[in-house]
Amino acid sequence: MSKEKEPITDADALAYHAEGKPGKVAILPTKPLMTQRDLSLGYSPGVAVPCLEIAKDPLKAYDYTARGNFVAVISNGTAVLGLGNLGALASKPVMEGKAILFKRFADVDAIDIEVDTRDVDEFVNCVRLLGPSWGGINLEDIAAPECFIIESRLKECMDIPIFHDDQHGTAIITAAALINAANLTGRKLANMKVVVLGAGSAGIACLELIKRMGIRHENALLVDKQGVIYEGRTEGMNQWKSAHAVKTNKRTLEEAMQGADLFMGLAAKGAVTKEMVKSMAKNPIIFAMANPDPEITPEEVYEVRSDAIVATGRSDYPNQVNNVMGFPYIFRGALDVRASQINEEMKIAAAEAIAKLARDDVPEEVSAAYSGRKMHYGPEYIIPAPFDPRLMTTVPVAVAEAAMKTGVARRPIVDIAAYRKELAARRDPTASAMQQLFEKVRHNPQRVIFAEGEEEKIIRAAIQWRDNGYGQPILVGRTEKVKNAAAGMGVDLDGITIANAAVSPHVDAYIDHLYPRMQRKGFLWRDVARMVKNDRNIFAACMLQLGHGDALITGVTRNYTVSLDNISRVIDTKPGEFLFGITLAVVKGKTLFFSDTSVNELPESPQLAHIAVKTADLARRLGHTPRVAFLSFSTFGNPMREKAARIRDAVKALDEMQVDFEYDGEMSAAVALN
């Protein structure tokens, strides 16, 4: 559980935000605008009709506009991450990032709004007046105590969900972890002694939520920089801290930790010592959630308390308290019932739903993605993994049901089973599957050979492979050329191998492997030697074939066909298999698999059937339910042409194979995509 190498550099972060269209968000139309009729419907005069309907009934805005799936991420930049008061404009990258998390995880459209004022009245009035634009508001990175005042006042004057994620998002995930940690250690919340370090927005929100769930006021000590918050204290106090002051003789964190069952840290690195942990009760629960480094690391805890349950805010330790498990799905459920607010019951329902997921059996797609970790309910798995696809079909349902039970839902959901299916359809299975694949590779590192190792794009890819912990990158190229290119880019090649054919100790072995394959195809030994030494694709393919790498990447400087021909000279297909190409197209969240698009010019019916089976298998492994369409210029025999018989026979072949996926054909592309 050692700390991972920093996955990105400053240059990486700036390049990510600047490349292509600057920033991370854009607006895409949801209706066609191709003809004069489309223009007349979408704008004047047609747009007047929904305007009049909304004027008569404001709730019609949910039917005729994007309001029902639209959230504003709003900040004044006074508490940006751990960077402090950077101002409204400098907070924009964070708010854009939050907006894309809404879309990525819960298919909620979001836009960032930066309000350039520290004045509470100005901020509240600005947001209130803009309120009709959105179905919900996510407040972000607003300093305490102003954040408490702003959220409270907006809730009073607006009839849409207002949610300060820095407070409630952290609190909900922490509460979910607490439910399971208490369960595993046989504790009841009412009997637990709690210490919360950090009296900012997150710390106070966490304490308030767990009190609503059963923690007793007198059993919870809130600690800030000045020490324990006790009745009668005046230094550094405000009304929000005072609400949690208790009668106690304890004044320091060290004293507060003695005999405590639960520690919740939302403060700073190194704030907790091993001696403090030693003094806690049996089977202590320690949530050290300071970012980027916790108050005490899990390694330090386990050195003195092997009986502890530990959670942090970091992805390289088990039990990551990550807000992304909460806010997208909470808003999803709230929006889907057109809730007028996100109340305490909805927050608790979300926490309980997240906790239950960790107790349920973990599906294969999740456990495979996080190989190397204990993915069954226990001390190292008290909350789900952030990329668990079940969150999308679980948390929104719990939130929506709580909204309906408490009377804040304006459009109750009648068929919950159908709603779950609708939520599943909103997921982007390719994105989820790719993330799971990345996690799987991280826990089973691979040696990847980059054949065009002198190219800047390839060098950057190799660096990303290294920095993300995916394995050993190998750049094929001339040593000095590769090093000079890296120096010009301002990057280091530590941990990256350069494979130079001119000095490789394996060249003779590669030649010996290739020559018997080529000598009856018009190539002399010296021809083969020249190919191995001068052609990077052939050299890289020899490396792969002889076990000096696990995968090969090429195709930046040479076209597909040339690259494939060179590799095929070195490596054979498996018995009973043949080469074919697959193209993945992701358009507006929908993933399409096209094959064969690059290898076989006119495959016969058995080959087409084989291609269909293999492509369906890939689609399934990437999280999709495969539905295969065999394309042709004709559709189900219209027009009937002899050349389409290959396609019809491929469909018959699948009939005989009794495959486990849906298929049909022949059909035109227009029919297949309808």
Give the pLDDT mean for 156-184: 96
Whether the per-residue pLDDT at 370 is higher than 80: the answer is no
Taken in order 237, 239, 241, 245, the sign of the CA dihedral is positive
| 460 lies in the same domain as 532 | yes
Give the pLDDT mean for 319-339: 96
Whether the per-residue pLDDT at 178 is higher than 90: the answer is yes
* Range of 35-39, 366-370, 425-429 with top mean pLDDT: 35-39
Q: What is the pLDDT of residue 421?
A: 87
Domain membership flag for residue 5? no
Give the pLDDT mean for 6-24: 84
Q: What is the pLDDT of residue 576?
A: 84
Query: Band of the pLDDT at 438, cuts 50, 70, 90?
Result: confident
Give the pLDDT mean for 670-674: 87
Neighbours of 388 (CB within 10 A): 23
| 483 lies in the same domain as 343 | no
| 169 lies in the same domain as 292 | yes
Q: What is the pLDDT of residue 621?
A: 82
| 360 lies in the same domain as 223 | no
* Boundary of a domain, candidates 542, 570, 598: 570
* C-alpha separations of 354 from 104, 107, 237, 349, 564 in Å: 19, 19, 34, 9, 47
CB 165 within 8 Å of CB 323: yes
| 172 lies in the same domain as 310 | yes
| 152 lies in the same domain as 251 | no
Q: What is the pLDDT of residue 2?
A: 40
Q: What is the pLDDT of residue 109?
A: 96
Whether the per-residue pLDDT at 472 is higher than 80: the answer is yes
Q: What is the pLDDT of residue 3?
A: 43
Q: What is the pLDDT of residue 37?
A: 92
- Collect all residues with Cβ–Cβ distance below 8 Å to 99 and sequence separation of at least 6: 24, 25, 73, 110, 111, 112
Q: What is the pLDDT of residue 6?
A: 52
* Range of 334-348, 577-591, 607-621 with top mean pLDDT: 334-348
CA distance 477 to 483: 10
Closest alpha carbon to 222 in 417, 380, 238, 213: 238
Closest alpha carbon to 194 in 170, 165, 216, 213: 216
Catalytic annotation, residues: 43, 98
Between residues 435 and 365, which one has the greater pLDDT? 435
Whether the per-residue pLDDT at 428 is higher than 90: the answer is no
Whether the per-residue pLDDT at 424 is higher than 90: the answer is no
518-552 pLDDT, tens digit per residue, is 999 999 999 999 999 999 999 999 999 999 999 99
| 89 lies in the same domain as 116 | yes
CATH number, domain at 597? 3.40.50.10750
Q: What is the pLDDT of residue 7?
A: 59
Domain membership flag for residue 397? yes
Q: What percentage of the chain carries pLDDT values higher than 90?
A: 73
Domain count, the chain: 5
Residue by residue, DSSP assigns 201-226 as HHHHHHHHHHHHTT--GGGEEEEETT
Whether the per-residue pLDDT at 43 is higher than 80: the answer is yes
Q: What is the pLDDT of residue 369?
A: 55
Dihedral pair phi/psi, residue 314, rounded to 5°: -105, 145
Domain membership flag for residue 50? no
Query: Band of the pLDDT at 622, cuts 50, 70, 90?
Result: confident
Give the pLDDT mean for 397-403: 98
Q: What is the pLDDT of residue 1?
A: 42
CB 450 within 8 Å of CB 420: no
* C-alpha separations of 627 from 27, 327, 611, 617, 650 in Å: 30, 33, 13, 11, 15
| 361 lies in the same domain as 422 | yes
CATH number, domain at 564? 3.40.50.10950
Q: What is the pLDDT of residue 658?
A: 87
| 468 lies in the same domain as 593 | no
Give the pLDDT mean for 232-258: 96
Which pair of tokens denotes residue 200?
């900012």
Give the pLDDT mean for 481-506: 92
CA 62 distance to own-chain centroid: 28
Domain membership flag for residue 208? yes
Give the pLDDT mean for 634-644: 79
Largest CA-CA distance found in the chain, in angstroms, rounded:
95
- Collect all residues with Cβ–Cβ distance below 8 Å to 608 and sequence separation of at least 6: 630, 646, 647, 650, 653
Query: Band of the pLDDT at 374, cuts 50, 70, 90?
Result: low
> What does the DSSP 8-state code read for residue 633?
S
Give the pLDDT mean for 343-369: 85
Q: What is the pLDDT of residue 410?
A: 96
Query: Band of the pLDDT at 430, cuts 50, 70, 90?
Result: low
- Collect all residues with Cβ–Cβ distance below 8 Å to 294 and sequence separation of at least 6: 265, 269, 288, 312, 313, 314
Bridge partners (DSSP) listed for residue 553: 450
CA 290 distance to own-chain centroid: 21
**Buried residues in 248-263 as b, exposed as e (16+ CB within 10 A):** eebeebebbbeebbbb
> What does the DSSP 8-state code read for residue 307?
T
Q: What is the pLDDT of residue 291?
A: 83
Side chain identity at 533, as an amino acid letter? K
Q: What is the pLDDT of residue 163?
A: 97
Q: Give burial (CB, 10 Å; 0-12/13-18/19+) of 269.
A: middle
Domain membership flag for residue 276? yes
| 172 lies in the same domain as 274 | yes
Give the pLDDT mean for 179-190: 97
| 609 lies in the same domain as 520 | no
* Boundary of a domain, candidates 282, 316, 350: 316
> Residue 461's domain spans which residues?
445-570
Q: What is the pLDDT of residue 95?
A: 97
Q: What's the order of all strands across the beta sheet hosting 497-499?
A: 497-499, 471-476, 446-450, 551-553
Q: What is the pLDDT of residue 385?
A: 86
Give the pLDDT mean for 326-330: 97
Domain membership flag for residue 377? yes
Q: What is the pLDDT of residue 636?
A: 87
Whether the per-residue pLDDT at 307 is higher than 50: the answer is yes
Q: What is the pLDDT of residue 510?
A: 96
Which pair of tokens denotes residue 369?
């993605």
Residues in the chain: 674
Per the prediction, the chain carries an average pLDDT of 91
CB 333 within 8 Å of CB 400: yes
445-461 pLDDT, tens digit per residue, is 899 999 999 999 899 89
CATH number, domain at 379? 3.40.50.720
Domain membership flag for residue 2? no
Query: Band of the pLDDT at 442, cuts 50, 70, 90?
Result: confident
Q: What percentage of the chain carries pLDDT values higher than 70?
A: 95
| 555 lies in the same domain as 527 | yes
CB 78 within 8 Å of CB 121: no
Domain membership flag for residue 46? no
- The three-state secondary structure class of 440 is helix
CB 408 within 8 Å of CB 510: no
Query: Band of the pLDDT at 364, cuts 50, 70, 90?
Result: low
Q: What is the pLDDT of residue 431?
A: 65
* Boundary of a domain, candidates 570, 600, 625: 570
CA distance 652 to 657: 9
Whether the per-residue pLDDT at 248 is higher than 80: the answer is yes
CA distance 309 to 36: 64
